[in-house]
Structure 1
Amino acid sequence: MKEMDASSKQSTVSEWTKVTAPAFLVCTTLTLLLAYFSNTGSMWIPILDSANLMFHEAGHPIFGLLSDRLMVYGGTLGQLTFPLVTFVRFLRQKNSVAAYLCFLWFVQNLWNISTYLADARAQVLPLIGGGEHDWTEILTRWNCLQNDTQLSRQLIFLGLILIFIAWHSLFQHWKSRKIPLPNADSHT
């Protein structure tokens, strides 16, 4: 039974791209940097958040095609869709590092959204092209505008939990490449 478990684990692990020590170190460093800069200071990471903003703004008319009521949600859905689609793509390819980095981008989007969410009542963040604040409209519809900052903190916490789970998975992939698993044929 142990031989079967070891060989099935070996085939499962070997199907995924190997996580090298430098790749694991880079992913860990990026995780720490993104977690820090996404939740402190200006909370704006230029290259990522500029892309996030582009997907956010594109999401409004795209999701608006489905329904006028859906248009306000389209920004948030738009900025989450692209990282999630790329994550799933790399997951299907069993590319551990690329999938992790796309999931990290997805979580960084959650943190970016939490900043916008926390601003629903205060409305001090600059809006592209003026207009209505998405999260003011959304939380007003849900009758929970007064909970904007609490919901924002919960979204930050959710992101931290998700990234820890993803990092732990990446760690397991990195660790598994270092431990040679017994081959069922070596016992004959």
Structure 2
Amino acid sequence: MKCPKCGYLRQDQDSHLMEGVCPQCGIAYCKWKENPVPAQEQSFVPEPTNYSIQPVEHWSRRALNRLLEVPDSVDSHAFWGRVALFIAFIIWGWSFILGGIDWRSIGGSFLHNVNLPFHEFGHVLFRPFGRFMTILGGSLFQVLMPLGLMLAFIIQRRDTFAASIMLWWSGQNFIDVSPYIADASHRAIPLILGLSEAYHDWGNLLSMTGSLHRAGMYAGLSFGIGVALMLLSFCWGGYLLYRQHRNLNRLRQL
């Protein structure tokens, strides 16, 4: 008889061994036929589960989704109020953009007086970091503060449309700073509380860095950043309103 496991053919000289047992590997023929694969050699087949592997979303995609997030339900009155606000900020923003670096139009806006307290607070906030940062801190905090509010609206309030307005405000602050930079060489802009020209922030900053001759270039750069942020806020806010309008129409159909 031939062994089903090792293929050994039983010989006459193997008659002294028990019948049904392979002289070569020692298995019992009948048991091998019932269970040809030993338990330790059987491959493990896991039981099926209901779990599915979800792809990990890239952080940039998650950030973009958060920036473009809109509420699932949109109240019609609130929506049209946002539309009116959006149109008003577009008109207001273009008045700053088309006005250029002009102290009379920029400084004459009531928004300049709104920005001024934040500018002055920036000097106090950055005072521990030395004289240079104390002087720069006014303009720096003025443009960064709206960006901080923008992040708060995105992360805490999940109000992306309000965040787009804060981006607009940061752009306006860059424009607000630009005539102050351009005046560094002349120091002709009147300062608050009748302070002398010795307290002119950008006159001192550019003198300290030896770049007073680049005042016009820095002013143009500040103005350009402000225009870019305003245009970006228009695109962002307009797209958010478009998505909200789709949700508004969807609710009407329900």
Relative to the length of structure 1, the TM-score reads 0.77
Cα distance in 1 for residues equivalent to 2:243 and 2:93 = 26
Cα distance in 2 for residues equivalent to 1:35 and 1:154 = 18
Per the alignment, residue 139 of structure 1 pairs with 206
Structure number with the higher helix fraction is 1
- SS of alignment partner, residue 158 of structure 1: helix
CA spacing shift, 1:159–1:15, aligned 2, 3 Å: farther
Deviation readout 1:93-150 (Å, 9 max, x if unpaired): 2212321222221111111100101111121100122232111122223332112122
Alignment of 1:32-51 (within 5 A): 32-37=91-96, 40=99, 41-44=104-107, 46-51=109-114
Structure 1 residue 16 displacement after superposition: 9.8
Structure 1 residue 175 displacement after superposition: 0.9
Which structure has more RCO (C-alpha within 8 Å, separation ≥ 6)? Answer: 1
Query: What residue ranges of structure 2 are gaps of 5+ in the alignment?
Result: 1-64, 248-254
Per the alignment, residue 89 of structure 1 pairs with 152
Identity %: 23
Query: For structure 1, which segment, 21-30 or 84-93, has the greater mean C-alpha deviation from structure 2 after superposition?
Result: 21-30
Structure 1 residue 39 displacement after superposition: 5.9
Cα distance in 1 for residues equivalent to 2:73 and 2:235 = 16
What CA RMSD, in Å, does the superposition of the two structures yield over aligned residues?
3.0
Q: Is the 8 A contact 2:83 2:241 kept in 1?
A: yes
Per the alignment, residue 25 of structure 1 pairs with 84
Structure 1 residue 46 displacement after superposition: 4.3
CA spacing shift, 1:53–1:64, aligned 2, 3 Å: same
Bigger Rg over Cα: 2
Query: What residue ranges of structure 1 are gaps of 5+ in the alignment?
Result: 1-7, 181-188
Per the alignment, residue 161 of structure 1 pairs with 228
Relative to the length of structure 2, the TM-score reads 0.59
Q: Which runs of 4+ in 1 moved over 4 A?
A: 15-19
Number of positions where the alignment pairs a residue of Structure 1 with one of Structure 2: 174
